Structures are given as structure tokens and as C-alpha cells.
Amino acid sequence: MKIYYEKDVNMDVLKDKTVAVIGYGSQGMAQSRNMADSGLDVIVGLRKDGDSWETAISHDMPVMTVEEASKEADVIHVLIPDEIQAQVYEKSIKDGLKEGNTLSFSHGYNIHFQYINPPKKVNVTMIAPKGPGSTVRQQYLDGFGVPGLVAVEQDYTGDALQVALAMGQGSGLTRAGVLETTFKEETETDLFGEQVVLCGGATELIKAGFETLVEAGYQPEVAYFETCHELKLIVDLIYQKGFAGMWNDVSNTAEFGGLTRRDRVITDESRKEMKKILEEIQTGKFAKEWALENQSGRPQLNRMRAIESELEIEKQGKKLRKLCGLEK
């Protein structure tokens, strides 16, 4: 395992070079502003008169079209959604690439699954904050930073790693530490984490627990507090202190009950499904499924979004978050 800190970075590799950040969503906004505040020459590439155009200008960021920014820059850092990256690359970035440029990402998806195939005479790198854009920005302003990942898929100039690390330092990531990985490892573990634990697994577990209590006749408000609201408190403890620290901070009753019953919830069958999901990611089956979903107008995703919005736990959550002052 190799972790890089500020002492390991040569910022001179970006001296007199321009970094174009393509996109101004959560990550684009945070990373571009952090790098600009760190003294890097940053421009933002956006769709002309799109939703983010005026926002970027209001933040005093130089704004160009994606085509203009790609031609102008030495480093093109692509931070638009995965599902449109290949289309935008072909239409607006590819022709602007020059020999020795660096094509950079914060997620390896389109390179790893070969939806984007860069020319041989450019660097292909990744610098990926391990936190949402709002946290990346706030931690930077607070004088620290979130940890990150760095990877080099193609090193044409011989200093691609240092280019990526310099961008990471500009965003504040090397203050916390940047772990070296590969496009393959980052992509596959990221998708697995999202699907099995962080987004898919966690929400299904919360929903199932809530519905079990409500179906047994308990008040939905109480069920929400016990299965959803308090989860943040537990996750925060794990984040700060690990499993052992969390067990130490909860009651002995909670510790005994959790340790003796958790494998009845996450069973051998659950673990088998986890392995199947990982295999679907590794073989590219999920990526093909997601590509087809986008090509057909996302009918399955739109249907599931509509169902999700009508869940009882969502209705209770909205009401109780207002009660707790978490939502207006």
C-alpha cells in the first residue's frame, strides 16, 4: 500500500499549465474552486448557457464551452456524470486533445469499461476524493482535506502520477493522504460498495426493518427513529472509532444483541448474492445494463424512483426531519 502526502508532491509539474474541469456539479464545483484557490490555473468547461454556467461565473471561475476548454487546457479533468462522459468525450473533448495532454477523471468507470478510448499520446489519470463535493470544499476551507485515491492508466509523459498528485494537492487531498490504486480496482470496488453496502444494501435494510415494525403494529414514527434516524449516530461512531469503538459506546444490551443476531440478517445467502453482484460488475454485465437503460430513456430507473418516493418510510421521514429541524 502506497499513500502520498504533501511532501511527496511536485507542484512544478503544473507550473504554467492549465487545468480544465469539465462539469460544475458537486465534485466539479468543489475541485475546481479548491485548485483555483491553491494557485492553479483552472478553467471550467460547460455546456453553453447550461444550468451551471452562471453559477460558475458567480464564483469567479473562468468559463468556456467544453470544446473551448478542452483545446485550451493541458489537463482535462472530466467530472460530468458517468452515463454522459463517453458522448461528451466523442463530441467535445476528443478533437481538442494534444500530444502530452493529461485526460483525468475522478472515477474509472468509462476508461475501465472502455466506453472512452483515449489516444496513446496522452496521459490518462485519476484523482478521486473519498467524500462528496460539499465535504471536499468545506474540509479544504477548514484547512484540511478528505483522503483520496490516485491511479495512472496511461503514462505518456513520464510524470503522469505527479500531475495527478499535484491536482490532488490542489484539492486538499494530500493533506489527509492519497492512496495509490488502479482504474480497475477503484471502479469495481466503488460500484460494489454503492450497490451492496452504501446505497443499495443500507436502504433496503432500513426499509425492511421499518416495514417489519410497522406491520407488527408499532407506530411508524417510532419505527422510523429506531431504524433510520439513529443510524447516522451509529455510522458516525464507526467512522470515528471503528467497530470496537462503536460497541464500546453503545449499551451492553445493544452490543450483545447486535453481535449475537447480525449473522441472522446478513446470512450465507446474502454473502452469495454479494459475490454474484461483484461478478456482474467485474464482467461488465452491470455496465452494459446501465448503458442500455440510458439508451432507452431510463424507464426502469424512473419507475423505481417513483415507487421509492411513495414509500411510507419516506413520508414519515419527511415529517420527522422537519420536527427535528433537519428539513424545512
CA–CA distance, 41 with 291 (Å, rounded to integer):
35
Is 230 annotated as a binding-site member? yes
Is 106 annotated as a binding-site member? no
Q: What is the DSSP string of 146-212?
A: --EEEEEEE-SSS-HHHHHHHHHHHTTHHHH-EEE--HHHHHHHHHHIIIIIITHHHHHHHHHHHHH
Is 226 annotated as a binding-site member? yes
Active-site entry in 59, 77, 107, 229: 107
Is 26 annotated as a binding-site member? yes
Which residues, 6 or more positions from 241, have their beta carbon under 8 angstroms from its beta carbon? 248, 249
CA end-to-end span of the chain: 44
Is 251 annotated as a binding-site member? yes
* Residue position matching grid coordinates 464482467: 283
* Annotated catalytic residue 107: yes
CA–CA distance, 118 with 14 (Å, rounded to integer):
21
Is 133 annotated as a binding-site member? yes
* Residue position matching grid coordinates 466503488: 190
Is 27 annotated as a binding-site member? yes
Q: What is the DSSP string of 258-295?
A: HHHHHHHHS-HHHHHHHHHHHHHHHTTHHHHHHHHHHH
Is 308 annotated as a binding-site member? no
Annotated binding site for substrate: 251
Q: Write out the catalytic residue numbers.
A: 107
The annotation places the binding site at 24-27, 47, 52, 133, 190, 194, 226, 230, 251
Binding residues for Mg(2+), by number, are 190, 194, 226, 230
Binding-site residues for NADP(+), please?
Answer: 24-27, 47, 52, 133
